[in-house]
Chains A and B, each alone.
Chain A
Amino acid sequence: MSRLGTFALVNRHLGYGRAASVLVAALVAVAVLATVIAPRALAVVAADELHTNLAARSPVLVDINGSGYMTFKPAGPGQTVAKRVSELDAVIAALPNVLPNPLATAAGTPQWVSRTAPLDAILPGVPRLHVLADLALDLHWMDRVRFIAGSPPAARDATADPDAPLEVAISAATAQATGLKAGDRIGYQLVPLVVAGIYEPLEPNDRYWAHQPDLATPIVSPAAGGFPTVSAGFYLATESAAAFTEDFSAGTLNAWIPIDGAEIDANDADLIATQARALATKQMTLLPYDGDLELQTALADSIQLVGARVTTITALLALSLSGLLGVLLAVFALGVRVIITRRATALSLAAARGASGTQLRTLMAIQGALISIPAGIVGAVVALLILPEPLVGPSAVAAWVLPGLIAVAPIVLSAVFTAPRGLRPSRADLRMRGRSRLREIAELTIVGLALLSLFLLSRRGLATSAASVGVDPLLSATPLLLALAVCVVVLRLYPLPLLALQRVFRRRNGAVGLLGSSRAIRDPALGFATALALVVGVSVIVFSIVFVGTLRAGIEQSAREVVGADVRLEATALDAATVRAIGDVAGVKETAALTVLDAVDFVHTDRPRQITVVIADTEALHSIRPDIPVIDRGTGPPPVLLSDDWSSAIQGPDSTLAGSEVAIAGALPADALPGISNDWLLIDAASVDQLGISVSSAQYLLITVEPGADSAVVAAGVREVARPTAGTKLTVESVATELQTTRTPVIVSLENALLIAAAAALALMVLTIVLASVTVATARNRMIGVLRMIGMSPRQIRGVVAWELGPLAITAIVVGVALGIALSAIVTGVVDLRPFVGGNLQPGIVIQPLWILVGVGAFAIAVIVAAAVAGVVGRRIAPAGAVKMGEG
């Protein structure tokens, strides 16, 4: 029995011809999945970036640091030092309690070390060394070290003979730098010292040693013409402090609350940054017995740096992916068009029977909803199963807007395209034809919006606007709007070259060219949606390729900037033999040694100051660093170059360096010599003896590697050679290792996202071509039938069919490549990429023709594959039958 209710009828109608809808449904599901996952993946990446970044930063820049001074509880009967500081210990231990949540949740157990002021220490038998030492009081230091010589220092009775030596413990590195051994005596201003034991840290990576570095490794600074200075701290037994309470009170108290970056929820990061910043404005923490402790932290800056990167990547991703949305929309349009075409008979019949436009549109909207809503829900559920990362704040709601729009798009498109007048069989595609006033208005609107967004983007910048309003839809849509505007222009101009071609073919004998070009002009098989999809698709691919290349080049450039060369070696002292030996390491091309002397007297017009002098063979330096000029020795006073952070203070002649006259030859950027602090002066090694400065060793070595050599491998080789003689400090940095640290999670995910976008664009373009070809299959087969009947060979027919797609594909390649490069140039020009790539220079656009060729080749293959698929699909409609089909 036939069911005759409206619902039953609609249901039966919608159930017909499901196959065509499956594609659109699948697309909706995948697109919703992608857009639901994207913000969650971004949140994961942001958290990852935050944790990676906080872990990589020095604990000093993350923890809450307190500095001040301590006082002891007045001595009394039975009052040990431990008891006299127990109240202080308790107050410091309670510091996290005053922290607000969520900052408090990331806080660990506070630690403190009290140190006397550094004083000269005289090492008998070591005259060529200047040692600055202080005494360190820490209740728990013994838990962190292991003795490798001697024994822990014994407590000194407060009533002991003032001349009796105080037992201290020194670090192994200090012992190495000073040559001290257990049992050695040290002359010291407060009290004679004796090295009771030598220790090394149990855990060298313990945050403790980052806060108190010279208790593990002394700081060795070379001095001009003098002896290097070694600064170190010596531990003493807790009870020994009783005799030096005044000295500790006059020294410094360092206390810090460790902040575990991994415990910071990325969603709370902004709040924590605000709380951390508020700490600095708080009053000092009053310690018992008039001690004081001021808390400070650089945590906010550390978090903010990550936040800026995440904001920029979000905006960049939106910018990069909006083009993809355009392609997706075009595919939806074509897919919906196919569905409507399949229903055209039923719809026109219903219209003839008196169904109103609203009824038909509602019917197709229901159909669209039946396709896209379940698909969208499936996509969203799968996305949440894959990545159940919760979003918080306003972004949690905003994140559903795009998936929602995607799910709604087929419904709206279904309703819009179901124009009762559009159901005429003559309308085979979406082309905007005719002298429609609407078309002109739409086109002008698109061009106007594109120009507006471009203007705003250049005025406001992407990140600034994104920071205040999240992802700015207008600015993010700039690539899409530009692409649309370009498509509008292209479709207006598209017939011109074709007309020229047609004129050429008219003069020739062949039928294929004339027929193909004429058909492309008068009855283009593929319309606006296809053109848009192909142009935008190619531009997305090219943009991804160019932008990834630009990012990579920028990162490498900044890594080179940070390292200063391919490999940079920094050591306490490098003698000439070691430098020569390093020059012989496999893969090393050139080396330039820098000797750095701190605190050299420089007098300009009677005003003395202390500066850092860098001595180098500037010829060797120039061949490694072309940006640093060769200092021409010439005659007269030795010429020098100044860093530009202080060079402005030096006007005219009358400058002396270490008592000898020098000539100011120019200035260099302060960061030109990496690793060297501000206010420096560069002088050629050949001029140094004239100044009476003797250079025996170098501190820095800049190295270039042979082409093709891996800088990381070379760095390892260099380290091996330098290790025996370099002294206590030896760091080797290479571009390769620097690149490793710059490629943080956001960079990696940005690159991945861009490549995924390129692949998605390719896939969507294949779909576009297949769908567009299927839409016109009937008309094409009718034409093929006619052509066959008038005697065209299959080869000629293939030629005519190739004209459907050929001109459009070529246009898409030309315009798409140009658009992709232009977009990359706009983004590189407008968006500040320095938070990403590091370094001080905005990277310039890098176009790698080979990779663009690969992208274009992939597109060409996609077009051929799609055309073949479309051919197979189209062949299901036999040309003979197609010819027989009447107009109706």
Chain B
Amino acid sequence: MSTQTLQTQIECSDLVRIFSAEGVEVQALQGLTLTVDRGELTAIVGASGSGKSTLLAILSGLDVPTAGKARVAGHDLLAMGSRERTRYRRHVAGFIWQQTARNLLPYFTAAQNIATPLAIAHSRRRDRAARVDELLELLDVTDVRDRLPSQMSGGQQQRVAIAVALANSPEVLFADEPTGELDEVNSQRVFDALRDVNERLGVTVVIVTHDQAVSKQVRRTVQIRDGRTSTEVLRSTSRDEHGVEQHFAREYAVLDRVGRLQLPQDYLTRLSMRDRVRLELESDHVQVHPSGDDDSVDDSSVDDSSVDDNEETR
């Protein structure tokens, strides 16, 4: 376990979250599986309603899953009592919302906003100013120290928000569409700040985003579809023999603990796969064939262990 937690920071398997209201049940997460290692920078993408915000709310301790398993930095998110949950929010998870205005209290200055989580966590008062200044400097917003949020630009607000989220030195930073309301330049600056934090402080960062510009710069992008992790894209950079920087991106389907995987929707349509498929085990891969009840479909095979670069098809 100790080695596991040292390596694996976030571990979700078969995570289910059902919202029920007035007799209507909505399954926001339907057995989601995700693993994030310590120090990783991960982006989570997906259509709206795919459950990514729900996942983030659960991971940051704001919501409780209905079933499944979720561990973050050794904390079992399903079994946490309110005391442990409070400690978790204070010291383990940091959080940044999409709406710049929601991250900061409008009547507090930047410094005061950063000091608020310190006060909540009962940090010693004489240490606060130093910590506040350290964070302001880290995020390059020292000049807005004594300004109210309304006197800052959107980008400054979000960077202060990151500082607020970092105040109590969390192990993981969750950001829900942190650049959603920003222009391109500010988006980049905020993303740079997040990457900077990730690299310099070693904080694990999970970003939910719609922003392709952001997701393309992230080493690992997890796509959620219908409440499940469907595919992952891993990017790497290397130099070829001519010294030219080459970007590689590979999309993988996610295989869960018991062997389930999601086939991309367009594969299914193209091959008219429905209800049943036929699997064939080859020496180094598995083939998926349409059930064969319908002879009109030819015997084309889908190699599912490695789907060629097909990212962001939607």
- Asked if B164 is an interface residue, CB under 8 A from chain A, the answer is yes
> Is the C-beta of A500 less than 8 angstroms from some C-beta in chain B?
no
Is the CB–CB distance between B115 and A355 below 8 Å? no
- Nearest residue (CB) in B for A17 is B107
Q: How far is the CA of A245 from the CA of B79 in the complex (A)?
A: 107
Q: Which residues 459-493 of A sit at the B interface, judged by CB distance below 8 A?
A: none
Q: How far is the CA of A359 from the CA of B89 in the complex (A)?
A: 13
Asked whether B86 is an interface residue with its Cβ less than 8 Å from the other chain, the reply is yes
B97, CB-defined interface residue at 8 Å: yes
User: What's the least CB distance linking A36 to chain B, in Å?
Assistant: 35
Please determine whether B107 and A13 come into contact, CB atoms closer than 8 angstroms: yes
CB of A3 within 8 A of chain B? yes
Q: Nearest Cβ distance between residue A350 and chain B, in whole angstroms?
A: 6
Q: Is the CB of B111 within 8 A of A522?
A: no
Q: Which listed segment binds A: B33-41, B119-127, B201-209, B224-232? A: B119-127
Whether A354 pairs with B125 at a CB distance below 8 angstroms is no
Interchain CB contact under 8 A, A354 and B89? yes
Known: A9-B116, A12-B112, A522-B22. A356 touches B105 (CB 8 A): no
A356 partner residues in chain B, CB cutoff 8 A: 82-83, 86
Within 8 A of A (CB), among B127-168: 128-129, 132, 145-146, 164-165, 167-168
Q: Mark A9-24, 1 if CB is under 8 A from B, else 0.
A: 1001101100000000
Cβ-defined contact, B112 with A354, below 8 A: no
Contacts between chains A and B (CB distance < 8 A), count: 90
- Residue B188 at the chain A interface, CB threshold 8 Å: no
Q: Find out whether the CB atom of A353 lies under 8 angstroms from the CB atom of B112.
A: no
In the complex the two chains form, is B120's CB within 8 Å of A16's CB?
no
Q: In the assembled complex, which residues on chain A have CB atoms less than 8 Å from the CB atom of B89? A: 351-355
Residue on B nearest A350 in the bound complex, by CB: B120
Q: A352-B60, A354-B168 are in contact. Are A3 and B120 (CB under 8 A)?
A: no
Query: A3–B116 Cα gap in the complex (Å)?
Result: 11
Residues of chain A from 731 to 766 with CB closer than 8 A to chain B in the complex: none
In the complex, A354→B95 CA distance in Å? 10
B residues in contact with A353, CB < 8 Å: 89-90, 95, 116-117, 120, 164-165, 167-168
Do B99 and A4 touch (CB < 8 A)? no
Q: A2-B145, A3-B112, A888-B102 are in contact. Are A352 and B132 (CB under 8 A)?
A: no
CB distance from B203 to the nearest CB of A (A): 16
Least Cβ–Cβ distance between B284 and chain A, in angstroms: 47
- When the two chains form their complex, are residues A5 and B95 in contact, meaning their CB atoms are under 8 A apart? no
* One of B87, B129, B145 near A354 (C-beta < 8 A): B87
1/0 per residue, CB under 8 A from B, across A347-390: the answer is: 00111111111010000000000000000000000000000000
The A90-119 residues at the B interface (CB cut-off 8 A) are none
Most buried by A among B88, B90, B112, B167: B112
Known contacts: A2-B145, A888-B98. The answer to whether A354 contacts B121 by CB under 8 A is yes
Q: CB-CB < 8 A to A13: which residues of B?
A: 105, 107-108
Answer whether residue A345 sits at the interface, using C-beta atoms and an 8 A cutoff: yes
Q: Which of B57-101 contact A (CB under 8 A)?
A: 60, 62, 82-83, 86-91, 95, 97-99
Choice from A4, A5, A8, A15 contacting B107 with Cβ under 8 Å? A15
- Which residues of A lie under 8 Å from residue B121 when comparing CB positions? 354
| B187 adjacent to chain A (CB < 8 Å) | no
Nearest-Cβ distance from residue A412 to partner chain B, whole angstroms: 20
Interface of chain A residues 122 through 145 with chain B (CB within 8 A): none
- Tell me the nearest residue of chain A to B104, going by C-beta: A349
Q: Which residues of A contact B97 (CB under 8 A)?
A: 888
Q: How far apart are the CA atoms of A85 and B107 in the complex, in Å?
A: 92
Q: What residues of A have a CB within 8 angstroms of the CB of B102 in the complex? A: 345, 349, 888
Residues of A within 8 Å of B120, CB to CB, are 350, 353-355, 359
On chain A, the residues within 8 Å of B165 by CB distance are 353
Is B109 positioned at the interface, with any CB of A under 8 Å from its CB? Answer: yes
* Size bracket, chain A contacts: 20 to 34
CB-nearest residue of chain B relative to A420? B82
How far apart sit A522 and B24, CA to CA, in the bound complex (Å)? 12
Given A356-B82, A888-B99, are A12 and B108 also a contact pair (CB < 8 Å)? yes
Residues in B whose Cβ lies below 8 Å from that of A355 = 86, 89, 120
The reply to whether A4 and B115 form a contact with Cβ atoms under 8 Å apart is yes
Report the Cα distance A359→B82, complex, angstroms.
12
Residue B9 is within 8 A (CB to CB) of chain A in the complex:
no
Chain B residues whose C-beta falls within 8 Å of the C-beta of A9 in the assembled complex: 108, 112, 115-116, 119
The CA of A350 and the CA of B21, in the complex, are separated in Å by: 26
Given contacts A2-B145, A13-B105, A888-B102, contact A357 B82 (CB under 8 A): yes
* Interface check B103, CB cutoff 8 A: yes
CB neighbours of A5 from chain B (8 A): 119, 125
Q: Contacts A356-B82, A888-B99 hold; do A4 and B117 have CB atoms under 8 A apart?
A: no
Query: Is A2 a contact partner of B119 (Cβ separation < 8 A)?
Result: no
* Smallest CB separation, B204 vs chain A (Å): 17
Complex Cα–Cα for A355 and B82 (A): 11
**Are A354 and B60 CB-contacts (below 8 A) given A4-B115, A4-B125, A346-B105?**
no
Q: Name the residue of chain B whose CB is nearest to the CB of A345.
A: B102
Contacts of A522 in B (CB 8 A): 22
Q: Is A1 an interface residue (CB 8 A)?
A: yes
Interface centre among B99, B115, B164 (most CB of A within 10 A): B115
Does residue A648 face the partner (Cβ distance < 8 Å to B)?
A: no
> In the complex, what's the smallest C-beta–C-beta distance from A363 to chain B, in angstroms?
10
A707 at the interface (CB under 8 A from B): no
Structural contact, B132 and A4, CB atoms closer than 8 A: yes
Q: Give the distance in Å from the alpha carbon of A1 to the alpha carbon of B110 in the complex.
A: 11
The answer to the question of A6 belonging to the interface, with a C-beta cut-off of 8 Å to chain B, is yes
Q: Is A886 engaged at the interface, CB distance under 8 Å to the other chain?
A: yes
The answer to whether B146 touches A354, judged by C-beta atoms less than 8 angstroms apart, is no
B107 to A12, Cβ gap below 8 A?
yes
B151 CB to nearest chain A CB (Å)? 13
- Residues in A with CB closer than 8 Å to B115 are 2, 4, 9
**Contact among B83, B86, B128, B164 with A4 in the assembled complex (CB-CB below 8 Å):** B128
Contacting pair A2 B146 (CB below 8 A): yes
Nearest-neighbor residue (CB-CB) of B122 within chain A = A6
Q: Which residues of B contact A8 (CB under 8 A)?
A: 112
B98 surroundings in chain A (CB, below 8 A): 886, 888
Expressed in whole angstroms, the minimum distance between the Cβ of B94 and any Cβ of chain A is 8
* Residue from A345, A349, A355 having most chain B Cβ neighbours under 10 A: A349
Bound complex: CA A522 to CA B111 (Å): 44
Which residues of A lie under 8 Å from residue B167 when comparing CB positions? 353
Q: Which residue of A lies closest to B161 (CB)?
A: A349
Cα–Cα distance between A16 and B149 once the two chains are bound (Å): 14
Question: B129 — which chain A residues lie within 8 A by C-beta?
Answer: 4
Q: How far is the CA of A351 from the CA of B97 in the complex (A)?
A: 13
Q: Which residues of A contact B88 (CB under 8 A)?
A: 354
Interchain CA distance A345-B105 in the complex, whole Å: 8
* Residue in contact with B105 in the complex, picked from A6, A349, A359, CB distance below 8 Å: A349
Chain A residue at minimal CB-CB distance from B167: A353
- Closest Cβ–Cβ distance, residue A13 to chain B (whole Å): 7
CB distance from B49 to the nearest CB of A (A): 11
List chain B residues, Cβ under 8 A from A354.
Answer: 86-91, 117, 120-121, 168
Smallest beta-carbon distance B116→chain A, Å: 6
Given contacts A9-B119, A356-B86, whether A4 and B111 have CB atoms under 8 Å apart is: yes
Is the pair B103, A349 in contact by a Cβ cutoff of 8 Å?
Answer: yes
Contacts of B108 in A (CB 8 A): 2, 9, 12-13
Give Cα A121 to B241, complex, Å: 155
Give the B-binding residues of A (Cβ under 8 A): 1-6, 8-9, 12-13, 15-16, 345-346, 349-357, 359, 426, 522, 886, 888
A-B contact pairs, 11 of them (CB 8 A): A2-B110, A4-B111, A4-B112, A8-B112, A16-B106, A350-B116, A353-B167, A354-B120, A355-B89, A357-B86, A888-B102
Given contact pairs A12-B108, A354-B117, A359-B120, a sample of 15 additional A-B residue pairs in the complex whose CB atoms are under 8 Å apart: A4-B112, A4-B125, A4-B132, A6-B119, A9-B119, A13-B108, A345-B102, A351-B89, A353-B90, A353-B95, A353-B117, A354-B89, A356-B83, A886-B99, A888-B102
* 10 smallest beta-carbon distances between A and B, as pairs: A354-B90, A354-B89, A2-B111, A4-B115, A356-B86, A353-B117, A16-B107, A2-B109, A6-B119, A355-B120
